[in-house]
A and B are shown apart, each in its own frame.
Chain A
Amino acid sequence: MEKVMTGNSAVAYGVKLARAQVIPAYPITPQTTIVEHLAQMCATGELRARFINVESEYSAMAACIGAAVAGVRTFTATSSHGLAFMHELLHWASGARLPIVMANVNRALAVPWSLLAEHTDSLSQRDTGWLQIYCEDNQEVLDSILQAYYIAERVRLPCMVNLEGFYLSYISEPVHIPEQEQVDAFLPAHCPAYELDPDRPAAFFGATFEPTMLYRFRRDTHQGLEKALRVAREADEDFHRAFGRRYGLLEGYRLVDAQLVLVATGTSVSTARTAVDRLRDRGAKVGLLKLRLFRPLPADDIRSALRGVPKVAILDRSISLGAGGILCQELKSVLYRADGQCPAVFGLLAGLGGIDVTPDLICEIAERALRSEYPTEEPIWIEVNR
């Protein structure tokens, strides 16, 4: 069935199809309609789940953790300040190896108060051990929720599905809703790692002061994330077999002969596609790399996609203050080679502050990068310099 819906509704339909059983949630703009939609589904019995009206995002994640220990499928959604408020428990969820799925609607953090889209909220949670998927359109939002459960439950790690506030959360697009039976086949009943059973009592997530023990847990969790690269690929392939759609961990667009590759994530990708087509029409050898999976970072895939490319321009809707765009930092570390054979990397703060990244802006960025041998400033404050 196809329906015109917002990105937030696409989240709710994904959660319903995944048969989440415990949904603790707290409202925050621009995530609110996800919570409303799910509360409605639970109230009418359309989704057989317990909806818990918690008093904060901190408690939302705590309740997800409590429920996930008991082995049921859990879901919550948040944004910006709510995600930051959860921070302590994001570490807890991954350390505890709980396959919680959460939607984060990207929004800038204060000061100043703002509802505009930035990726800094989720990208700054990159060290918490959560998988992170970034979506380009509303269909990908729904599909990514289903894939998120698939991956999370197999690698025993939590997964965050990101969609930009307003650009996706409140914009309606046609979305194909898969049949429940097909989803059930793709996503069978959750087989939890833990057994919470008074007849076989255990202590979950206690303390240790033994350094080698702690070291081992860190390594195990990291290896879980590494394994997630393979599992995410399998999820996408299985998904393609079942529903005919696939996304990959990343996607190269018109990369052949590219002298410059734009790297983007989220909604800028769609715009960049249009811009790349225009640039190619003008004879400029420009390609595009869409980054969909940010954690774990598919480093080998990125390196092979960009092999031999002399220039890379990264469109960042985020900033690590004092260092530059977060995607740019990550990409540079992936592309670094001791032999000096690295492409010139242009770190462009393009969508930061929720600035509308138009095809014209991207064309301008690309043409400027093609003209320059290497970047003369870092990061490049594109809006300020225009």
Chain B
Amino acid sequence: MRTMPAFDRDDFSIPRDEYLYSGHSGCPGCGATLTMRHVLKAMGPRTVVVVCASCWTGIAGYFPTSSLKVPSVHCAFASAAATASGLKAALEMRGDDISVLAWAGDGGTLDIGLQGLSAAAERNDDILYICYDNEAYMNTGIQRSSATPLGAWTTTTPLGQDRPNKNIMDIMVAHGVPYAATVTIGFPSDLMRKVSKAKGIRGTRFIHALSPCPTGWRFAPHLTVKIARLAVESKAFPLYEVEQGEYIITHMPRDRSLKEYLELQGRFKDLTDDEVQGIQDNLERAWQRLMAKSRIATYATP
């Protein structure tokens, strides 16, 4: 496979092969689409993607079209994990070594699909589950999910989300899964290295992929990657992995201000300075808790 050199401070070179066709129906600057493009580069062709109801139901192509170069199986909203588990069991009965990638949004993962995901993780079924998190129900038009961050406007939180988002990584790590990681498209080599590592591990692997959404977060589409990067650098979305319970920070934030990250997004425009400070304090405490239980990867420091 021909590869490109790494783009961030990481050792993973980027495969040239494409598994996503142009001509899909993702919005301009769609972070969720770019996440899939990056993920499949690391997964390679012997992959089946199980897609539950989400923006990706459409992005994957309307019948009779398909924008993916790997097989995909669409499934009902709450059923990504269980469908993937059944599919994997069948492939094993067939004697086929094909990776099964369950692909769900934050609603399909943190809300309606959490029960099934919990069960698959508890059984340690051999699937890679990726939650592409755009922090709200975007396909239905920007409604709050339990991944919507504190203070964010959505159509169902017109005064701003009044609770911090659910910590899905802690939930999954508590299941004792062999591998869990956070990734984002702002750090493609880090993303692909983690997906590639997850691919090589047996059991339930979970990846939480922050996927900025220009439409729902209210920013101009050219800012998608910049915002993904700022989320990490401002500690709003730390990059780390948990291998057999061991926490490893894979990128040390460069301490960019949270205000800069929030100000680029229209969904935070009504926040007062005090509210921004409150959010920053929350994130700082969460970061300190994460640091206390983590080691830092050698390549993580800028």
Q: Total number of A-B contacts with CB less than 8 angstroms?
A: 158
Known: A66-B50, A70-B87. A203 touches B82 (CB 8 A): no
Stretch at the interface among B4-12, B29-37, B57-65, B212-220: B57-65
Among the 9-residue stretches B67-75, B251-259, B277-285, the one with 4 or more Cβ atoms under 8 Å from chain A is B67-75
CB neighbours (8 Å) of A209 from chain B are 62
Q: Would you call B86 and A213 a contact (CB within 8 A)?
A: no
Asked if B74 and A207 make an inter-chain contact with CB atoms under 8 angstroms apart, the answer reads yes
Given A66-B75, A67-B90, A198-B47: A55 in contact with B84 (beta carbons within 8 A): no
| Complex: A71 Cα to B48 Cα, angstroms | 14
Q: Is the CB of B46 within 8 A of A58?
A: no
Looking at the assembled complex, report how far the CB atom of A100 sits from the nearest CB atom of chain B, in whole angstroms.
Answer: 10
Task: For residue B19, give the distance in angstroms from its CB to the closest CB of chain A.
Answer: 9
Q: Cβ of B69: which chain A residues have Cβ within 8 Å of it?
A: 201
> CA separation between A63 and B118, bound complex, in Å?
14
Q: Which of B91-99, B103-111, B225-233 contacts A (4 or more CB under 8 A)?
A: B91-99
Selected contact of A62 from candidates B45, B57, B96, B116, CB within 8 Å? B116
Residue A65 lies at the interface, judged by CB distance under 8 Å to chain B: yes
- Is the Cβ of B74 less than 8 Å from the Cβ of A52? no
**Do residues B118 and A21 form an inter-chain contact, with CB atoms below 8 A?**
no
| Nearest-Cβ distance from residue B180 to partner chain A, whole angstroms | 20
Determine whether the beta carbon of A50 is less than 8 Å from that of B119.
Answer: no
Cross-chain contact of A71 among B61, B92, B94 (Cβ < 8 A)? B94
Which residues does chain A contribute within 8 Å of B73, judged by CB atoms?
Answer: 66, 69, 196, 204-205
Q: Does A327 contact B (CB under 8 A)?
A: no
Q: Which residues of A contact B65 (CB under 8 A)?
A: 203
Bits for A122-145, please: 1 = Cβ < 8 Å to B, else 0.
Answer: 000000000000000000000000
Given A22-B89, A50-B93, A203 and B66 touching (CB < 8 A)?
yes
State the CA gap A204–B70 with chains docked (Å): 11
Q: Is B161 an interface residue (CB 8 A)?
A: no
Assess whether B171 is interfacial by the CB under 8 Å rule: no
Contacting B at CB under 8 A, from A288-326, are none
- A208 interface hit (Cβ, 8 Å): yes
Q: Is A89 in contact with chain B by the CB < 8 A criterion?
A: yes
Taking CB atoms, residues of chain B closer than 8 Å to A63 are 82-83, 85-86, 89
Are A72 and B119 in contact, with the CB atoms below 8 A?
A: no
In the assembled complex, the Cα of A22 lies from the Cα of B87 at a distance in Å of 9
Q: How far is the CB of A289 from chain B (nearest CB, A)?
A: 38
Contacts of B86 in A (CB 8 A): 22, 24, 52, 62-68, 74
Residue of B48, B85, B87, B115 touching A198 (CB-CB under 8 A): B48
Instruction: For A203, give its contact among B60, B96, B118, B123 (CB under 8 Å).
Output: B60
**Using Cβ atoms and an 8 Å threshold, which residues of chain B touch A49?**
93
Residues of A within 8 A of B75 (CB): 62, 65-66, 92, 205
Describe A's contact surface by its main secondary structure.
mixed
Q: Which residues of B contact A58 (CB under 8 A)?
A: 78-79, 82, 116
Does B74 contact A72, Cβ atoms closer than 8 Å?
Answer: no
Q: Which residues of B contact A357 (CB under 8 A)?
A: none
Taking A198-B71, A204-B72 as contacts, is the C-beta distance between A22 and B93 under 8 angstroms? yes
Question: What string of 1s and 0s marks CB contacts (under 8 Å) between A81-114 and chain B?
Answer: 0000000110010000000000000000000000
A89 / chain B contacts, CB cutoff of 8 Å: 76, 79
Could you tell me the distance between the alpha carbons of A132 and B65 in the complex, rounded to whole angstroms?
A: 33
Which residues of chain A in 206-237 are interfacial with respect to chain B, using CB atoms and an 8 Å cutoff?
206-210, 213
B residues in contact with A65, CB < 8 Å: 75, 79, 83, 86
Across the interface, A55 reaches (CB within 8 A) one of B47, B68, B115, namely: B115
Q: Which of A52, A64, A206 contacts B62 (CB 8 A)?
A: A206
Bound CA span A197–B88, Å: 13
A127 to nearest B CB, angstroms? 17
**CB–CB A208/B83 < 8 A:** no
A203 vs B70: C-alpha distance in the bound complex, in angstroms?
Answer: 8
CA distance A102 to B98 in the complex (A): 27
| Complex Cα spacing A66 to B79, Å | 10
| Alpha-carbon distance between A52 and B126 when the two chains are bound, in angstroms | 12
Q: Which residues of B contact A32 (CB under 8 A)?
A: none
CA distance A205 to B47 in the complex (A): 17
Residues in B with CB closer than 8 Å to A92 are 75-76
Excluding A62-B76, A204-B72, 4 further A-B contacts by CB distance (< 8 Å) are A58-B82, A206-B60, A206-B72, A207-B63
25 chain-A/chain-B pairs, Cβ below 8 angstroms: A54-B82, A56-B116, A56-B119, A59-B115, A62-B75, A62-B116, A65-B75, A67-B86, A67-B93, A70-B91, A70-B94, A71-B90, A72-B93, A74-B90, A89-B79, A196-B48, A196-B73, A198-B45, A201-B71, A203-B63, A204-B74, A206-B66, A206-B72, A206-B74, A210-B62
Top 10 A-B pairs ranked by shortest CB distance?
A63-B86, A66-B86, A203-B66, A55-B119, A59-B82, A70-B90, A62-B79, A66-B87, A62-B82, A67-B90
